[in-house]
Amino acid sequence: MNTYLDVSPEVQAALAAGKPVVALESTIISHGMPWPQNAETALQVEQIVRDNGAVPATIAIIKGRLKVGLSKEEIEYLGQAGLSVTKASRRDIPFIVARGGDGATTVASTMILAAMAGVKVFATGGIGGVHRGAQETFDISADLQELAHTDVAVICAGAKSILDLGLTREYLETHGVPLVGYQTSTLPAFYTRDSDFDVDYQLDTPEQIASALQAKWAMGLRGGVVIANPIPEAYAMDRAKIDQAINAALTEMEENGVSGKDSTPFLLAKVAEITGGDSLKANIQLVFNNAALAARIAASYYA
């Protein structure tokens, strides 16, 4: 595996010393927002991880190399390259590597590379899931399958609210993926703090979550854990307003024939446009919040 994998010296030293490390994805850099805001936000997220007692490991594929831990220059490179960087999920990794290309890692591919390096905790915005209308399209994010068998805990603000939350919840349950609510008994819906769906377990401290992760993996129970962390109240959006924006975006997506891996970026961009940028501001704040919690969980896990 070392033939393809580059772990930064800082991350490598932390792992060797049993110190906490938090994985971070790179799709948010290349596909989440424009330059230079994308790189600035990614560097802020790294600083929040440090401020909360862990080492950040932003993950990407650069010039055919699997990277766990990026330099400031590499983050800025991805930010400037923007949409020209391939959005990389599990199926894409070998082809990007073989051609020496660049890849911005999704939740699924970030989990894969984190697991290769031995990183157990990962902070992101929201996980992918079962898309609305999946009964006809079978459009289900690869994130869910990765969660079923890759031993990485994913701290997120729930599933993206553009998805079918009920079917996403059922899929996770079928595949034995625990859905943990951090200080909440209901599933957060990304931009909003709650939804109509419950979590499996409410845990109220990073220490409780870390203990559950240790028990799960020590017993050989494979697979990830979703830790749903509600967006801070000050930045949460009105549920009726965001639902209206999502429904309008879904209608436009269908009219334009957008599908597959293009669906999520199209919908998120359209919702941001409809809400006058409010959804993007909320997105940034929930990522900050998840990074802080992930660092505290990682610190407890490695204590």
- DSSP states along the chain: -TTTEEE-HHHHHHHHTT--EEEE-SHHHHTSS-TTHHHHHHHHHHHHHHHTT-EEEEEEEETTEEEES--HHHHHHHHHHGGGSEEE-GGGHHHHHHTT--EEE-HHHHHHHHHHHT--EEE-S-B--BBTTHHHH--B-HHHHHHHH---EEEESBB-TTB-HHHHHHHHHHTT--EEEES-SB--BTTBS--S-B-SEEE-SHHHHHHHHHHHHHTT--S-EEEE-PPPGGGPPPHHHHHHHHHHHHHHHHHHT--GGGHHHHHHHHHHHHTTTHHHHHHHHHHHHHHHHHHHHHHHHT-
Q: Using one digit for the tens of pLDDT, what is the confidence trace for 189-247?
A: 999 999 999 999 999 999 999 999 999 999 999 999 999 999 999 999 998 888 898 88
Question: Total structural domains in the chain?
Answer: 2
**Catalytic residue check, 160:** yes
Mean pLDDT per 10-residue interval, the chain, length 303 residues: 92 98 97 93 98 98 98 98 96 98 98 98 95 80 95 94 91 97 96 95 98 98 98 93 88 86 80 84 95 98 95
What CATH number is attached to the domain comprising 257? Answer: 3.40.1790.10
Active-site residue identified among 10, 25, 63, 146: 25
Q: Check whether residue 112 and residue 221 sit in a common domain.
A: no
Task: Say whether both 180 and 294 belong to one domain.
Answer: yes
Q: Which of 67, 160, 254, 255 is catalytic?
A: 160
165 and 300 both lie in a single domain: yes
Among 72, 90, 119, residue at a domain's last position:
119
Q: Within this chain, do residues 72 and 140 fall inside the same structural domain, yes or no?
A: no
Judgement on whether residues 223 and 84 belong to the same structural domain of the protein: no
pTM (2 decimals)? 0.94
Catalytic-residue membership of 40: no
Residues 159 and 288 placed together within one structural domain of the fold:
yes
Instruction: Say whether both 155 and 265 belong to one domain.
Output: yes
Residues 280 and 298 in one domain: yes
Q: Tell me: do 12 and 83 sit in the same domain.
A: yes
Of the residues 119, 141, 167, which one is the last residue of a structural domain? 119
Residues 148 and 293 in one domain: yes
Which domain-ending residue is among 64, 86, 119? 119
Domain of 30? 1-119
